[in-house]
């Protein structure tokens, strides 16, 4: 399976906005439209990507690189990772996460942080299998995980 992170552009934004998670997952993740607005509001640090596997658009991710932030543990975040409901259960999430980790490494990150609700068991399982560990911190109602690179 060939997995790619492709920079969001006018050429692929329509496909990004058409992606949706399963209805029972909407409590865990903001809409792609809301995430795009947040990325635009933070365009100096946010990097949005569509996720393609074998040429098919299957997901969306927003990575954050805030290299000017004083706390080195808070510079690099995986703000969003979603796989379209029709593409779930096929290994695309795990493949995308591998590419995201590779991207962070190639761009000089020393760690990656993310947050999610404790009840988001499928996502937590995937993140923990990839080596993310609980930090003991909370952001609102979400636990924070970190992967040291």
Q: Is 1 or 83 the better-scoring residue by pLDDT? A: 83
- pLDDT tens digits, residue range 54-76? 999 999 999 999 877 777 667 99
Q: What is the Cα–Cα distance from 60 to 22, expressed in whole angstroms?
A: 14
* Mean pLDDT computed over 118-128: 95
CATH 3.40.630.30 corresponds to the domain 3-148: yes
Q: Which of 120, 113, 121 is nearest to 139 (CA)?
A: 113
pTM for the whole structure:
0.93
Average pLDDT of the chain is 94
SS3 call for 28 = coil
Q: Residue ranges per domain, the chain?
A: 3-148
3-state secondary structure 65-79: ECCCCCCHHHCEEEE
Q: Which of 44, 39, 19 is nearest to 31 (CA)?
A: 19
């Amino acid at each position: 399976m060939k997995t790619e992170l492709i920079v969001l552009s006018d050429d692929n934004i329509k496909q990004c906005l058409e992606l949706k998670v399963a209805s029972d997952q909407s409590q865990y993740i903001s809409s792609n439209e809301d995430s795009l607005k947040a990325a635009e509001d933070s365009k100096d640090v946010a990097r949005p990507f569509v996720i393609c596997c074998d040429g098919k658009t299957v997901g969306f991710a927003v990575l954050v690189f805030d290299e000017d932030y004083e706390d080195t543990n808070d510079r690099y975040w995986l703000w969003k990772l979603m796989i379209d409901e029709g593409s779930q259960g096929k290994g695309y999430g795990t493949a995308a996460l591998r590419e995201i980790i590779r991207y962070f490494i190639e761009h000089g990150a020393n760690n990656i942080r993310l947050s999610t609700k404790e009840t988001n068991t499928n996502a937590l399982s995937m993140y923990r299998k990839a080596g993310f560990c609980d930090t003991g911190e909370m952001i609102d109602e979400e636990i924070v995980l970190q992967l040291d690179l």
